[in-house]
Amino acid sequence: MGFKYEEFLNMTWREYEFYSIGHFRRLERNWDYTRHLIASMYNSSGLSKKKVNAKDIMKLSSIDKIQPFKKIDEKSLKKIIKEFNGG
């Protein structure tokens, strides 16, 4: 992931989680780039009339998944605002 062994030993679990999430996202961006190259080469080859989308070539869990926005309920929102304002 790009850090030294001594840095790893002095890391908290939260820091390690941030590093691992970042590493996973970099890997998926590279695979996204690769699948787009494959799809564009296939589509421009002229050998097939079928058009291929990058998502048809390979599924990527964090890039392809659309995560719905969750709305917070009014009671929780008022509680958070009250705590934020110091009371």
- Locate 2 and state its tokens: 């790009």
pLDDT for the residue numbered 34: 95
Residue ranges of the chain with pLDDT lower than 50? none
Residue located via tokens 């709305």: 71
- Residue position matching structure tokens 């719905």: 68
CB of 22 closer than 8 Å to CB of 2: no
pLDDT of residue 36: 94
Q: Which pLDDT belongs to residue 47?
A: 81
Q: What is the pLDDT at residue 87?
A: 63
pTM of the model: 0.62
Instruction: State the Cα–Cα distance between residues 59 and 43, nearest whole angstrom.
Output: 18
Q: Which amino acid type is present at position 16?
A: Y
